[in-house]
Amino acid sequence: MILQEIVHLYNRVGFGISPSEAKLLQKQSRTEIVTQLFDASRNAEPLSIELTELITTLKGLKMKDRKKIRALFKESAKKIHEMNIAWLYKLASTEQLLVEKMTLFWANHFVCNDKNIVHFQDYQNTLRKHALGNFKEFVIAISKEASMMKYLNTRQNKKQKPNENFARELMELFTLGRDQYSEKDIKEAARAFTGWNHDIMGNFRLRRRQHDYGEKTFLGKTGNFDGDAIIDIILAEKQCAQFICEKIYRYFVNDQIDTLHVSEMTELFYKDYDIGKLMRFVLTADWFYDEKNIGTKIKSPVEFLIGIHRIVPMQFEKERELVYLQKLLGQHLLFPPNVAGWKGGRTWINPNTMMLRLRLPSVLLAKGEIALDEKGEFEDDFQRFNDKRNRQRRLKVTPDWEAFKLNHKNITNKQLQETLLVSPLNRGTKQYLDKLADQDLPQYCIQLMSLPEYQLC
């Protein structure tokens, strides 16, 4: 496989690749490399943080101790931040690239947020477990996650008083896309999900007395459907396969849909909803490596940050600063803006985030200063709000240049450039880079990362 294709593949299923790794892979064929990616991603390692104490306390409580539960998780709010950081570290170090990238994708598809870290961690790992599995099992499993049932009010959905929130989002965001069903379909589907609930540990429970066992008419079919049956009926619509394939195409291939390629994907996916098979098809397809698909996507903030880290490992002294960077760049993992998730693409970029991205490599890797103060939290008192504003400051980050040098022995500037930049180069930029050709590698690396071209993958 040629270098450009290797880099492209790793940009999309991971966070880029180092020149030396890419060099090694050049001897292998496309199928071999893709197979290795899949093999590495088998049995996804869960994301887990230390929760023993919390789980013990939780087990001692009853569902009706609502106030106590709420207090417990208010107390443990910092655990969510711990999980946020743990996720970033996982992305920074994992060798299970494909499944982790898919998890990022699904987390922005089955969007959810929860204060209960015990439930939220389960939700997270359900994403991992099914990320390359069967889509139908995935939809059912994620719908039964306690975090999801809270986030979309499935718990409040009772026979006596149906709540349509989940049924609506299930169709609009998770499976079919907008306007593919009627309001009546939503009402009928909502009835089928009545009584869905969970116990204190987050296990799924059907509350029979709240479940509507009656007849429903949904998408033209009539029967005594329960929730699983509704999901079956939805997936029988080809539109569902197409909706998912379009989203995968936009995320992994190109912001602009190519209808021919998407319909190839849809035909395949509709057969058995096997996500792994679909991804293998995409990643081995010739069109995936078309010129027009290479270096055209704007990196998400997480792709940008992790991409830098995977080339020059960084140690953050204050994890708070890492949280702050995510917020400034516009993607704070685990805190999606709303149920539709981050829009991505060009919406990542405005004049402020653009300048920030261009500055960031020198701030992170060369002790550059940055004049960005965190917006105050609502809960902060005025003192804190008012302190230390309007200053340039340095982030407490230590780049590991030794590791960089070790990983880049015998790598030339040109080789580094070919792995870090894949988009077409603006010609002025190209001439500029030619002038820098004899700089030493770390300097050159920072220069490359500070270019608009580096924002693309």
| Residue of 218, 103, 115 lying closest to 170 (CA atoms) | 218
Query: Nearest distance from residue 356's CB to other proteins, in Å?
Result: 8
Structure tokens at 185: 């379909």
HSE-up of residue 26 (Cα within 13 Å, Cβ side): 11
Query: Nearest distance from residue 412's CB to other proteins, in Å?
Result: 17
| Whole-number Å distance between alpha carbons of 78 and 84 | 10
Beta bridge partners of 393: 370
DSSP result, 419-430 = HH--SPPPHHHH
Contacts of 24 (CB under 8 A, 6+ apart): none
Which burial class, exposed, middle or buried, applies to 439 when counting CB atoms under 10 A from its CB (0-12, 13-18, 19+)?
middle
C-beta closer to other proteins: residue 206 or 339 = 339
**Region of residue 230 (left: phi > 0; alpha: psi -120 to 50; beta: else):** alpha
C-beta closer to other proteins: residue 43 or 382 = 382
C-beta closer to other proteins: residue 78 or 389 = 389
Binding residues for other proteins (CB under 8 A): 255, 295-298, 327-328, 337-340, 343, 345-347, 349-352, 354-355, 358-359, 361-362, 365-368, 371-373, 375-376, 378-382, 385-386, 389-390, 392, 423-424, 426-429, 431-432, 439-440, 442-443, 446-447, 449-453, 455-456
User: How many residues are recorded in the chain?
Assistant: 457
C-beta closer to other proteins: residue 114 or 453 = 453
C-beta closer to other proteins: residue 242 or 447 = 447
CB 25 within 8 A of CB 313: no
Helix (H) or strand (E) holding 198: strand 196-198
| Cβ neighbour number for residue 151 with a 10 Å cutoff | 22
Contacts of 26 (CB under 8 A, 6+ apart): 1, 2, 3, 6
CB 282 within 8 A of CB 439: no
| Cβ neighbour number for residue 425 with a 10 Å cutoff | 17
Query: Nearest distance from residue 166's CB to other proteins, in Å?
Result: 13
C-beta closer to other proteins: residue 31 or 431 = 431
Query: Nearest distance from residue 370's CB to other proteins, in Å?
Result: 9
Query: Nearest distance from residue 455's CB to other proteins, in Å?
Result: 6
| Residue of 393, 138, 124 lying closest to 240 (CA atoms) | 138
| Whole-number Å distance between alpha carbons of 50 and 386 | 35
| Whole-number Å distance between alpha carbons of 110 and 56 | 29
C-beta closer to other proteins: residue 318 or 432 = 432
Query: Nearest distance from residue 7's CB to other proteins, in Å?
Result: 16
Query: Nearest distance from residue 153's CB to other proteins, in Å?
Result: 10
Query: Nearest distance from residue 201's CB to other proteins, in Å?
Result: 26
C-beta closer to other proteins: residue 220 or 428 = 428
Query: Nearest distance from residue 86's CB to other proteins, in Å?
Result: 23
Crossing angle, helix 66-75 and helix 77-93, to 10 degrees? 50
Query: Nearest distance from residue 333's CB to other proteins, in Å?
Result: 16
